[in-house]
Structure 1
Amino acid sequence: MIIDTHCHIYNSEMENAEGIIKEAAKNDIGLILNGTDPLSNKEVLELSHRYENAYAALGYFYSFADEITDEDISLLDEQLNNENVVAVGEIGIDYYHTKDNKDKQKELFEKMLNLAEKHSLPVIVHSRKSTQDTFDILKKHDVVGSLHAYPGSAEMAHEFIKLGFYIGIGGPVTYDKNKKIKKVLEKVDINHMLVETDSPYLAPQEKRGEKNNPLNLKYIIRKLAEELDMSEDDVIKITGENAKRLFKI
């Protein structure tokens, strides 16, 4: 099974979400659906119970740092007891879109990490223009997980790996201008990588301008195989085993 370790396939984000999940199942693709707020978390949980190839990751995204209440935290705490939940995510910090609420972003991130520790769950982390702060916060917590759409250097990737993190590889690996991720691939072993789509975002080069979906994993896998000089079957096998090990699925 190919495992898309990060996607947003639910009705509040994508049209025909259930049809996409069914199509993924036909193509032997497992999905870790990432919620970002109370509504999407609820949708993710429902879908994870309805479809065998869908797993739930629940969390509160940085963009809701000014809105999340104590009641919302308590609700998430309760939801994380659900047996279909395999991770806390999508969570993290992002200084690209806004720097005005850095402290609130970091505070929410810490709360999410505390819940992950409490429930012994891995985390799925978003970090943009915030690599050092993300690292400094993560190393204070006893958590492992994945770094979604990894944006940092190869050197920092190794530091995150030492903490128990995997490097998420998605559509940007297929972009000709993305030299940074190519350098990461040169220096990071595939045993520390996961594949993902971030559907409906970050479509690979072959589908630029379209809404992304899990079937586009084939382009990511093809590019990884090319860059790492290995077979596509081996990329699928190793990244799939990495995902199963991390998320216990």
Structure 2
Amino acid sequence: MIIDTHCHIYTSEMENADEIIKEAAKKDICLILNGTDPLSNKEILKLSSQYENVYAALGYFHSFADKITDEDISLLDNQLSNDKVIAVGEIGLDYYHTKDNKDKQKELFEKMLNLAQKHALPAIVHSRKSIQDTFNILKKHDVVGSMHCYQGSAEMAQEFIKIGFYIGIGGPITHKNNKKTRNMVKKVDISHMLVETDSPYLTPEEKRGEKNTPLNLKYIISKIAQELDMKEDNVIEITTHNARKLFKI
């Protein structure tokens, strides 16, 4: 089994979501579908009830920080009790797209982490151009989880690992100009890594120009194996063990 710990395979993102999920099942790939808003969370719960290889991570993304209401928070609180929900995500901070609502983003992030604590669930965290604020907020909460598509330094990765977070490795590791991530991977023990695709985004170099799918995990695994001078089967075995341990799958 391989576990894609972060993807967005649902109808509002991909019209052929059911087809992709079935193809992944044939390859023995489990999917953790990450929600970003009330609509995607609803879609993910439905898919997780239909497919054995689908698990749900539900949350509200930074881009909805100005829109999420108390009613939405209560809805999510109830949804997190579903047996197929294994994490709160995708949540976090992003100052790349907008810096105008930093306080709102932080407020929403805190609310999401409070729910993760309440339900004893790990968090799947997005952080772009906001690494220090993300770390400072996570330190205040008794929550473990995954740093989704981590693009920071090896030194900062070690700080996240110390507070119980795994480092998510996705398609960018294969991009020709992304030496930073490849160098970081060499300095972080694989016992703290997860593999993910962020489908339909962040397509690996080998499939550039196409929508990403969980089937492209093989390129990410191959690149990690190459950088660490390991066999691909060992990368799969260890990262799958890590995902099972974190998400209790």
Which TM-score band (shorter chain)?
Answer: over 0.9
Partner of 2:105: 105
Aligned counterparts, 1:1-249, within 5 A: 1-249=1-249
Cα deviation, residue 158, structure 1: 0.2
Counterparts of 1:13 and 1:186, CA distance in 2? 33
Moved over 6 A (4+): none
Match for 2:216: what amino acid? N
Cα deviation, residue 132, structure 1: 0.2
Cα deviation, residue 176, structure 1: 1.4
Aligned length in residues: 249
Cα deviation, residue 27, structure 1: 0.4
Match for 1:65: what amino acid? A
Match for 1:59: what amino acid? G
The worse-fitting range, judged by mean Cα deviation, of 180-189 and 78-87 is: 180-189
Aligned-pair identity in percent equals: 79
3-state secondary structure, aligned to 1:36: coil
Q: CA RMSD in A?
A: 0.4
Cα deviation, residue 90, structure 1: 0.2
Structure 1: tracts of 5 or more residues without a match: none
Counterparts of 2:182 and 2:195, CA distance in 1? 15
Cα deviation, residue 151, structure 1: 1.4
3-state secondary structure, aligned to 1:19: helix
Counterparts of 1:227 and 1:248, CA distance in 2? 28
Counterparts of 2:174 and 2:66, CA distance in 1? 34
Q: Which whole-Å deviations, capped at 9, do the CAs of 1:116-158 have from their partners, x for residues lacking one?
A: 0000000000000000000000000000000000011000000
3-state secondary structure, aligned to 1:239: helix
Q: Which whole-Å deviations, capped at 9, do the CAs of 1:135-185 have from their partners, x for residues lacking one?
A: 000000000000000011000000000000000000000011112111211
Counterparts of 1:207 and 1:140, CA distance in 2? 40
Counterparts of 2:235 and 2:111, CA distance in 1? 34
Counterparts of 2:61 and 2:195, CA distance in 1? 21
3-state secondary structure, aligned to 1:66: coil
3-state secondary structure, aligned to 1:180: helix
Match for 1:81: what amino acid? S
Cα deviation, residue 189, structure 1: 0.3
Cα deviation, residue 52, structure 1: 0.3
- TM-score (normalizing by structure 1): 0.99
Q: Which whole-Å deviations, capped at 9, do the CAs of 1:185-221 have from their partners, x for residues lacking one?
A: 1210000000000000000000111100000000000
Q: Which whole-Å deviations, capped at 9, do the CAs of 1:42-91 have from their partners, x for residues lacking one?
A: 00001001000000000000000000000000000000010110000000
Q: Which whole-Å deviations, capped at 9, do the CAs of 1:6-65 have from their partners, x for residues lacking one?
A: 000000011110110000000000000000000000000010010000000000000000
- TM-score (normalizing by structure 2): 0.99
